[in-house]
C-alpha cells in the first residue's frame, strides 16, 4: 500500500505545531490546527490517505472523538464510503454500546450507536479506524474492542502521528494492523 517518502513526511511534519506544557506541564501537545489551516498541506494529506485506501475493502471510516472526526469524515467523503463517530460518554443521542478503558489515573469510556452499521452490505462489516495521534494507545485499543464486541472487523487503524516512546502502538497492534504517517520519538 502507498506510504510517504521521507521528504513528504518532513513536509507534513513541518505543518504540525508543538505546544510545550499543554494541557499540563511536561506534555508536548501536537497541534494539528496549523496543518488544517494550510490548504495545500491538508489536501496533500487527505489525497495521500485517499490513494492509500481507494482499493481497500471497507465500507465505513470510523473517527474517534474529536480530531478523528476531521480526518475521518473528509476521508470517507473522498472515498465515497460512510462515516461513523466513536464518542465520549453521553454525547450520542440514540441507544449506544460502550467500552471502558484504563487511564493513568482512573477510567474512561467510549460509545458508538447500536445501529451504526445497519446499512452495511458486508457481513461482518469492515471498517477503517482513524485518529490523529497514538499516545498510550488506550483509546484506539478500546475502540477496536468496542467494534469487535458488535462483530465489526477493523481492517486497519490509521494515525497521523505515533508518539513512539509511549509504546501505544504495541498495545494497538495486539488488536489490529496500524498505519501511522509520522513517527515521533
Ligand atoms: P491515547 O489514548 O493515550 O493514545 O490518546 C488519546 C488521544 O489523546 C489522542 O486521540 C490524541 O488526540 C490525544 N493526545 C494524547 N497525547 C497528545 C499529544 N501529545 N498531543 C496532542 N494530542 C494528544
Determine the distance separating the centroid of ligand 1 and the alpha carbon of 133, expressed in angstroms: 5
CATH code of the domain covering residue 53: 3.40.50.2020
* pLDDT level of residue 2 (50, 70, 90 thresholds): very high
DSSP string, the chain: -----HHHHHHHHHTSEEEET-SSTT-EEEETHHHHT-HHHHHHHHHHHHHHHTT---SEEEEETTHHHHHHHHHHHHHT-EEEEEBSTT---S-EEEEEEE-SSSEEEEEEETTTTTT--SSS-EEEEEEEEESSSHHHHHHHHHHHHTT-EEEEEEEEEEEGGG-HHHHHHTTS-EEEEEEE-
Any ligand 1 atom below 6 A from CB of 44:
no
CB of 135 closer than 6 angstroms to any ligand 1 atom: yes
Task: With a cut of 90, say whether residue 185 has pLDDT above it.
Answer: no
User: Would the CB of 59 count as within 6 Å of ligand 1?
Assistant: no
Q: How many folded domains does the chain comprise?
A: 1
Domain membership of residue 46 as a residue range: 6-184
In a domain, 101, yes or no: yes
pLDDT value of residue 33: 98
Residue 174 lies in a domain: yes
**Ligand 1: nearest atom to the Cα of 68:** 10
Q: What is the pTM of this model?
A: 0.97
C-alpha of residue 140 to centroid of ligand 1, in Å: 10
Q: 40 in a domain, yes or no?
A: yes
Residue 145 pLDDT grade (very low, low, confident, very high; cuts 50, 70, 90):
very high
Per-residue pLDDT, 103: 85
Classify residue 1: in a domain, yes or no: no
* 67 pocket-lining for ligand 1 (C-beta < 6 Å): yes
Residue 107 inside a domain? The answer is yes
Average pLDDT, the chain: 97
Q: Is residue 90 part of a domain?
A: yes
Q: What's the pLDDT tens digit per position in 150-176?
A: 999 999 999 999 999 999 999 999 999
Structure confidence by residue, pLDDT tens digits, 21-75: 999 999 999 999 999 999 999 999 999 999 999 999 999 999 999 999 999 999 9
**Quick check: is 113 in a domain?**
yes
Q: What is the pLDDT of residues 83-117, one digit of tens each?
A: 999 999 999 999 999 999 998 788 999 999 999 99
Amino acid at each position: 500500500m502507498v506510504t510517504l517518502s521521507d521528504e513528504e513526511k518532513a513536509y507534513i511534519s513541518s505543518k504540525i505545531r508543538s505546544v510545550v506544557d499543554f494541557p499540563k506541564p511536561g506534555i508536548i501537545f501536537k497541534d494539528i490546527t496549523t496543518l488544517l489551516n494550510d490548504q495545500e498541506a491538508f489536501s496533500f494529506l487527505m489525497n495521500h490517505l485517499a490513494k492509500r485506501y481507494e482499493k481497500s475493502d471497507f465500507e465505513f471510516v470510523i473517527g474517534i472523538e474529536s480530531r478523528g472526526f476531521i480526518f475521518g469524515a473528509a476521508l470517507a467523503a473522498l472515498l465515497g464510503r460512510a462515516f461513523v463517530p466513536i464518542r465520549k460518554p453521553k454525547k450520542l443521542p440514540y441507544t449506544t454500546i460502550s467500552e471502558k478503558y484504563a487511564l493513568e489515573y482512573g477510567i474512561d469510556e467510549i460509545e458508538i450507536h447500536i445501529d451504526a452499521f445497519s446499512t452495511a452490505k458486508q457481513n461482518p462489516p469492515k471498517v477503517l479506524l482513524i485518529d490523529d495521534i497514538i499516545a498510550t494507545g488506550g483509546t484506539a485499543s478500546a475502540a477496536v474492542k468496542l467494534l469487535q464486541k458488535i462483530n465489526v472487523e477493523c481492517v486497519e487503524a490509521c494515525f497521523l502521528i505515533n508518539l513512539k516512546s509511549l509504546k501505544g502502538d504495541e498495545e494497538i497492534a495486539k488488536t489490529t494492523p496500524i498505519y501511522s504517517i509520522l513517527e515521533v520519538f
